[in-house]
Structure 1
Amino acid sequence: MSRQQIVFNNVSFRYADDEPWVLKDVSFTIDSDQWVAIIGHNGSGKSTIAKLINGLLFPDQGEIVVHGITVNAETVWDVRKKVGMVFQNPDNQFVGTTVRDDVAFGLENRGEPREVMVERIANSLKSVRMSEYTLHEPHRLSGGQKQRVAIAGVLVIQPDVIILDEATAMLDPKGRKEIMATVNDVRAEHDLNLVTITHDLNEIIQADRVIVMNEGQVWLETEPRDLFTRENVLREIGLDVPFVAKLANQLQLVDQAWSQEPLNQKELLDALWTYNSTK
């Protein structure tokens, strides 16, 4: 069985015939169980990719295959059983008067038996640490809590792929950190494909692969550790690396004996300890 969960074959897209191409001959694959981050500046085409995966849009040219299903108007509902999306503003996704009702919505649409719904809702809310808010009104929650409920609403339908489309953009730094920690825990627990769409490179540290979009094309495919060494070229396309990577890159310029590429503060501290021990 193929490990390819999502395949883009020479995909091009524009929103109208008289408008420029948003995506131009884009090809990539995402394997099962991978966390892939798709990054790029505003207008690079990354959010359009998310909507194409879920069948909210269809390509003008090329082919998209999700879990062995070619995405088109006839297959879109089959595809959406495999793919769940969490958007930037969770308020736009809420349909229930309570957290429980909102998480139940997807299951009700699928006609799941009540006993199945009760169990899945409880498990999904537990996974995102929102069990005690079952009877709360979604709109009265904090931004981070709302996103957790939105993730639970996707998780409850048991998709193979979860897409986070700028899902932390409206949160403060603490909220962003909490949501990314929740997402990582959920992925590990449920063995999911995760696709994150973002322009914040702090959010891609734990990803397996990174696809960098620029002007509607795949500019680079690599791993986070390698990406952060390309600070100068990333700045040219409107992106900036996290502080830890900046500091490591500056140390490399000062002393070529420094060869570490830390991804987070702990790795940086460990590298500095080793580096100083050799002096």
Structure 2
Amino acid sequence: MSKKLIEFRNVSFRYGDEQPWVLKNCSFTIYENEWVAIIGHNGSGKSTIAKLMNGLLFPQEGEIFIDDKQVNSESVWDVRKDVGMVFQNPDNQFVGTTVQDDVAFGMENRGLPREEMLKRLDDVLSAVGMEDYRITEPHRLSGGQKQRVAIASVLAISPKVIILDEATAMLDPKGRNEIMKTIAGVQKVKEVTLLTITHDLQEVIQADRAIVMNDGQIWAEGVPREIFSKKEALRKIGLDVPFVSRLADVLKAEAIPVTQEPLNHEELLEDLWILHSRT
């Protein structure tokens, strides 16, 4: 069994005493080297969870633990060494005049020796496929390239968990696909815990597990295939299922048997090919 890395224990939060609760008695656990997607419509509480994990906010009720450390005003700086965040707009995270300056910034703040910084710089830029852009000015990069640099900057400080809060929301479909491939590659090579916050179920496919938020509460939790099987219920809470899942339903309605809930086009095509070979 993997070690617990993040634990929410009956956490509730609201933005002011007279405001409604944004989170209501939420409890869940995330383990080392796990990729978990937290999904939900706007206002469901998913981004608040990310801010609570990083100590940008503190709960009014309940407890949060990151690597056995309770998140509070006294531990927040230690917690932030373990938790790196990538936001929607990478321009808000750039501080350097070149890509390598930006990636080095966090390492310099932590006082890493120059030799270690240079080694990590090469390592993380290679991990996100940006090694050829070291001396490029960030504003000259595409949206997807900027997000890769933002991910590299977080990787360079060696956090135990990386949170991507709607990190693909401002990208076109091609850019989204590139970032999701980058994330999958990083998670495999670096053995880091990944937490992706999104309202796009297409981004959930590669995750190990998904937590669905609705109205500040955990609505469902399970592997992506299990979550996608709840199509009608997902639509009722404002989430649209991936196209391939809808296509599988159309095929079933036409009496074409699809044996499993497909996660991608390849799985659906393989299923149909097996069916064809039997007829």
Q: TM-score normalized by structure 2?
A: 0.97
Partner of 1:144: 144
Deviation, 1:278, is 3.0
Q: Does 1:239 align with 2:239?
A: yes
- Structure 1 residue 83 and structure 2 residue 83: aligned? yes
Aligned pairs for 1:194-205 (under 5 A) are 194-205=194-205
Summarize deviations over 1:56-103 as a string: whole Å, max 9, x none: 111110000011110011101111111110000000000111111110
In the alignment, what sits opposite 2:115?
115
Give, as a single letter, the amino acid of the residue that structure 1 aligns with 2:17: D
What residue identity is the alignment partner of 2:233?
V
Query: Is the aligned partner of 1:132 residue 2:132?
Result: yes
SS at 1:272 equivalent: helix
What does 1:1-279 align with in structure 2 at a 5 Å threshold?
Answer: 3-255=3-255, 257-279=257-279
1:212–1:219 contact (8 Å) kept in structure 2: yes
Deviation at 1:222, TM superposition (A): 1.1
RMSD: 1.2
The question of whether the paired residues in 2 share the 8 Å contact of 1:229 and 1:249 is answered with no
> Match of 2:252, SS?
helix
2-side partners of 1:256 and 1:136: how far apart? 52
Cα pair distance change 1:224/1:2, threshold 3 Å: closer
- Aligned partners of 1:52 and 1:117: how far apart in 2? 29
The CA distance in 1 between the partners of 2:7 and 2:22, in whole Å, is 18
State the SS of the aligned residue for 1:184. Answer: helix
The separation in 2 between residues aligned to 1:129 and 1:113, in whole angstroms, is: 24
Moved more, 202-211 or 257-266: 257-266
Distance 2:203 2:67 in 1: 26
1:166 deviation in Å?
0.2
SS in 2 for 1:168: coil
Deviations 1:195-236 (A, max 9, x none): 000001111101010000000000000111111111100000
The one-letter code matched in structure 2 to 1:95 is V
Indicate conservation of the 8 Å contact 2:259/2:271, yes or no: no
Give the gaps of 5 or more residues in structure 2. none
User: Partners in 1 of 2:263 and 2:116 — Cα distance?
Assistant: 41
CA drift at 1:2: 6.5
Q: Secondary structure at the match of 1:7?
A: strand
3-state SS of paired residue (1:144) = helix
